[in-house]
Structure 1
Amino acid sequence: MTAGSSLRITEADGVVEIVLDRERERNAIDAEMVAELHDVCTDLERRPRPAIITGGANGIFAGGADIAQLRERGRADALAGINVTLFDRIRALPMPTIAAVDGYALGGGAELSYACDLRIITPRTVFGQPEPQLGIIAGAGATYRLVRLVGESVAKQVLLGGARITAQRALDLGLAIDVVEPSQLLVAAHDLAASMLRSSAIALRMTKLAVDAGPDAHPQIELAIQALLFEDDEKYERMDAFLNRKNATGRTER
């Protein structure tokens, strides 16, 4: 995978790190960044790995969509769903995604973080949806993803009332898994990814698939997945290893 002019991409220990790299533009999401993120998705779909999306520890995750480009978009562009199509694709990636968010995540930047499976933030992180101030709506997922993440009442406070979600409130609401200092943000994100990689890759993928399935899919999807996994070789290997450790120590270890 190669980086473009809007992204810096590295890979280590089976985890892909994607850094939004338009610092002078406050990491505003423009057409070029959208195209490059689609390329990243193609790679992650072909060869699934966990991914971390971050703006680095410089006090800005993403300040939203590029307003200059947004101003020139017309009705056909809106119906094409330029950003929401990308964020839906990120949401549907086979392996988990982590947003490592330092500082402001506003507008499309916030919606990008909502599309990720988990969020780790810093004390100066702020989420917000200022789109109505610009005469538009939060049209890239916030009107339904934020509702699912924090509930309708809080989502309406943000979407309608212009409220912003600060770090402590994000943690209290469950929007973020942890708050760490900026210098430890990527360390914490990589630690989380590494902990997930200790699980069975196929079980992790299938768990994400089940969690993201619509309400009408349950419990049938769990039954079908479990039926497949119950006869998977890795299941027997992992359970045998667990039982051997238990027998060797005389106690249950996890």
Structure 2
Amino acid sequence: MSTRVKLQWPQAGVALLTLADTAPNHNLTCAGVSELADRLEEARKAGARVAVLASGVPGHWYEHAFLDDIRNLVGGRAASGDPAGWARSLHEVSRSNVVTIAAITGNTSGGGCELGWGCDLRVAEHGVLFSQPEVIIGCGTGIGGTSRLMRLIGRTVTAEAVLMGQPLTAERLYQLGGLNRLVEKGQALATALAMAAHMATLPPVALAGMKRMLTEDEDLHLSAALDNDQTISQGLFADPLTVSNMAAFQQRFDAGESLEDAYFGGRCDGTPIESTRP
């Protein structure tokens, strides 16, 4: 039984993973990250469509790697757990067919930030700080703190973050497109769960297919990405549920219902809404 990561099911298809590592300052131990990877894999195999990553430590989301673990590893000594947990966690959040949302309720840094950059969506509260302080320590951002962040917010501000090692505010990250939602204190988890609840009601094959498209296209040139979009889309169009949904929606349009009413229940303000079923 995990002592660091709690797995809960707020509703069908939605997994909530709450990490409360025991190292000082909520630094992520290899043991804690390995447990996170285990619970993410468990959730995926149990049918999760969306996973929300939360923190059980007030004032902190996921902080940087426990430095004693790194010192032990480079010195040929054992760490607190399997260091491969970092790669497994990143694979689960970014490469699996489960959509992942980071519900960022406190400061985050280093490897913790990098897990957040790997998620599909990020919700953060006002006042939260994000930092990649590796250059101050004398090391580098080994698991996406430069490459993923640069794709999210651009080279200019990423250069400032990784070359100076100083924090970026949630407000600035939101303005640059690094966050999907910026919410008031105490609202990140509820907002992330509302987004997850909406996505969990969508056709599962399409949700997984669109995540696959996002993930694979990011590594491709435009022409190859367009070909990849077509390949994935052809498979989705042929899915029996999709065929049935297209017929049902077309009947609604033929009866005079507007696109806004049929798809969005008349709401088009960009906030999470309940899924519309044909």
Q: What's the counterpart of residue 219 of structure 1?
A: 226
Cα separation, partners in 2 of 1:190 and 1:57, compared to 1, 3 Å = farther
Supply the distance in 1 between the matched residues of 2:3 and 2:16 (Cα, whole angstroms). Answer: 15
Q: What's the counterpart of residue 128 of structure 1?
A: 131
Cα deviations by residue, 1:141-180 (Å, 9 ceiling, x for unpaired): 1121111111111111000022321011111011111111
Q: Which 4+ runs in 1 deviate beyond 4 A?
A: none
Q: What's the counterpart of residue 248 of structure 2?
A: 241
Supply the distance in 2 between the matched residues of 1:42 and 1:60 (Cα, whole angstroms). Answer: 24
Report SS of the residue matched to 1:61.
coil
Q: Which amino acid aligns with 2:34?
A: A
Most deviating of 239-248 and 138-147 = 239-248
Alignment of 1:20-31 (within 5 A): 20-22=19-21, 25-31=24-30
Aligned 8 A contact 2:23 2:66 in 1 = no
Q: Which amino acid aligns with 2:99?
A: P
1:206 equivalenced with 2:209 (yes/no) = yes
Aligned 8 A contact 1:81 1:140 in 2 = no
Aligned-pair CA distance for 1:117: 0.6
Give me the identity figure in percent. 28
Supply the distance in 2 between the matched residues of 1:241 and 1:125 (Cα, whole angstroms). Answer: 44
Alignment of 1:1-16 (within 5 A): 4-13=2-11, 14-16=13-15
Q: Which amino acid aligns with 1:230?
A: F
TM norm structure 1 = 0.90
Cα separation, partners in 2 of 1:138 and 1:76, compared to 1, 3 Å = farther
Supply the distance in 2 between the matched residues of 1:156 and 1:127 (Cα, whole angstroms). Answer: 14
Cα deviations by residue, 1:77-136 (Å, 9 ceiling, x for unpaired): 9xx766245323421121210001022111111111111111000012111011122121
Q: Which amino acid aligns with 1:58?
A: P
Aligned 8 A contact 2:14 2:48 in 1 = no
Aligned 8 A contact 1:26 1:62 in 2 = no
Aligned-pair CA distance for 1:64: 0.9
Cα separation, partners in 2 of 1:244 and 1:68, compared to 1, 3 Å = same
Supply the distance in 2 between the matched residues of 1:55 and 1:142 (Cα, whole angstroms). Answer: 20
Structure 2 gaps of 5+ residues are 78-82, 264-278
Aligned-pair CA distance for 1:23: 6.3
Aligned-pair CA distance for 1:199: 2.2
Supply the distance in 1 between the matched residues of 2:103 and 2:39 (Cα, whole angstroms). Answer: 17
Q: What's the counterpart of residue 116 of structure 1?
A: 119
Supply the distance in 2 between the matched residues of 1:139 and 1:83 (Cα, whole angstroms). Answer: 10
Structure 1 gaps of 5+ residues are none
Cα separation, partners in 2 of 1:132 and 1:106, compared to 1, 3 Å = same
Return the match for 1:157 from 142, 157, 160. Answer: 160
Cα deviations by residue, 1:30-76 (Å, 9 ceiling, x for unpaired): 12112212212322443342100011472210221112222222177
Cα separation, partners in 2 of 1:110 and 1:175, compared to 1, 3 Å = same
Aligned 8 A contact 2:104 2:189 in 1 = no
Most deviating of 86-95 and 242-251 = 242-251
Supply the distance in 1 between the matched residues of 2:53 and 2:76 (Cα, whole angstroms). Answer: 29
Aligned 8 A contact 1:41 1:93 in 2 = no
Alignment of 1:23-102 (within 5 A): 25-46=24-45, 47-56=47-56, 58-74=58-74, 83-102=86-105
Cα deviations by residue, 1:4-48 (Å, 9 ceiling, x for unpaired): 111122112121111111267332211211221221232244334
Supply the distance in 2 between the matched residues of 1:243 and 1:118 (Cα, whole angstroms). Answer: 31
Cα deviations by residue, 1:155-213 (Å, 9 ceiling, x for unpaired): 11000022321011111011111111232221100111112123211111111111111
Q: Which amino acid aligns with 2:31?
A: E
> How much is the aligned-residue C-alpha RMSD, in angstroms?
2.3
Aligned 8 A contact 2:130 2:169 in 1 = yes
Supply the distance in 2 between the matched residues of 1:66 and 1:88 (Cα, whole angstroms). Answer: 20
